[in-house]
């Protein structure tokens, strides 16, 4: 079963250039990479690893379908999206 966002993206990609922007979650990444010290931390790390894996898979699938994808820290969001837009305009993709 694939996420609904991919189905929606496929519909948009027929007529539009799609830029999918995901905001990174450093706290989740930290939990996923930390070495658990007890059972609760092990479950938290496992859940964080699953979230990170699903996120990577989603971005990869969208990219495979032709979407432009960015995975950014919140502080880099504005400048990175603007730069990507300028690149799209420069390449006459719109």
pLDDT for 28: 93
pLDDT for 67: 93
Instruction: Report the alpha-carbon distance of residue 2 to residue 31 in Å, rounded.
Output: 26
pLDDT for 4: 86
Q: Could you give the maximum distance between any two Cα atoms of the chain, in Å? A: 54
- Domain assignments of the chain as residue spans, ordered by start: 4-90
pLDDT for 3: 78
As averages over each run of 10 residues, the pLDDT of the chain (94 residues) reads 81 91 92 95 96 92 92 91 91 75
pTM of the model: 0.80
């Amino acid at each position: 079963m694939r996420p609904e966002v991919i189905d929606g993206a496929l519909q948009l990609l027929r007529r539009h250039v799609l830029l999918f922007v995901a905001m990174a979650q450093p706290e989740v990444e930290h939990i996923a990479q930390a070495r658990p010290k007890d059972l609760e931390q092990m479950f938290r790390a496992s859940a964080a690893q699953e979230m990170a894996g699903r996120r990577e898979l989603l971005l990869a699938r969208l990219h495979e379908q032709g979407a432009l994808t960015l995975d950014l820290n919140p502080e880099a969001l504005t400048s990175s999206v603007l730069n990507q837009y300028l690149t799209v305009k420069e390449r006459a993709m719109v």
